[in-house]
Amino acid sequence: MDIYYDPLFLEHRHIPGHPESPSRLISIVKGLEESPLSFRFLKGSAASAEQLGTVHSHSYIDGIRQWRIRYLDQETPVYPSTYSISAMAAGCAISSTLHSIESGGCVMALIRPPGHHSGKDYGGGFCYFNNAAVAARNCGQSRCAIVDIDVHHGNGTSDIFYGERNVLYISTHQSGIYPGTGEAREIGSGEGEYFNLNLPLPSGSGDSTFDFAFDSVIMPVLRQYSPGVIIVSLGIDAHYLDPLASLTLSTGGYVKCISRLASLGPPLSIVLEGGYNPDALSDVVCGLVAGVCGEPYNTRFDVVHDRKGVGIGWVRSSLDIFSSHWRL
């Protein structure tokens, strides 16, 4: 499996103890390098201001580049190096997506900082530029899907494509936590109505709930939409080991979600978002590489906490809203 990565990402540092730290990628890289899995690291190139400008306003881009903006929120300070590192993250997301289209397979962008909380002219939640959205806008496909599997709703991605139908956005996330958006009734507007699909879930939702969400909504909608490429905004903070929230996906649950998306046929580009337990990050990424490559690998964190479908009722409520447009 080809993975876009750059050591530059390790230079992005917050105050000591900040959850979005270099240890996230250090753990993943170490896990991959110590595994018997088939992969190779590739170097991308930084997104240009013009590529970033397909998503973000020029005033916002320049504010970060020229360090006129010092804080996007209390947890998201801007440093002199933020622009170059964030532009490289967005560029690797573009490279991953273009490479997946060219190869017809699955490619990953192992990047930081994450991006899905960044909108046209704002950032926050550890995010500066919206990597997945920039990739979608620069991949040359007339129809693209972004599937956001993260414990937090990707409010930035949702806002960017809220009135469009050439990018289908589907998000699974824990209800009632940061950023407080992503209710099922938020379905898009105008041309984009019913192309912005949110599956908010209650605390404790895990493997069984995600199985139901994929069976009843995500897979049928993607088949009907038939995108030229699927970009996965992959947040590993829905794992039961993650310290910031309380969804309970296991490593095997993550692998199953990605394997099912890969089985649909369109090229698959995986873009790393959140995830703040280094051990879970390493376990999930190694498990995904093994699953995509069809290689044996013993994942470590496979306790299934949700066997009875804690959030199935919530998924059914969302399904009732979506079914007026999609055949579900």
Q: Which of 12, 116, 117, 239 is catalytic?
A: 117
In sequence order, which residues have a C-beta less than 8 Å from that of residue 251 and are 6 or more positions away?
Answer: 239, 280, 283, 284, 287, 299, 300, 301, 302
- Among positive and negative, which fits the CA dihedral 149, 150, 155, 156? negative
Q: In this structure, are residues 255 and 287 in contact, taking their beta carbons and an 8 Å threshold?
A: yes
Residue 199 pairs in a beta bridge with 172
Closest by CA to 40, choosing from 67, 66, 1, is: 1
How many angstroms separate the CA atoms of 251 and 1, rounded? 18
Catalytic residue status for 56: no
Closest by CA to 225, choosing from 194, 269, 271, is: 194
Closest by CA to 269, choosing from 42, 7, 62, is: 42
| Catalytic positions | 117
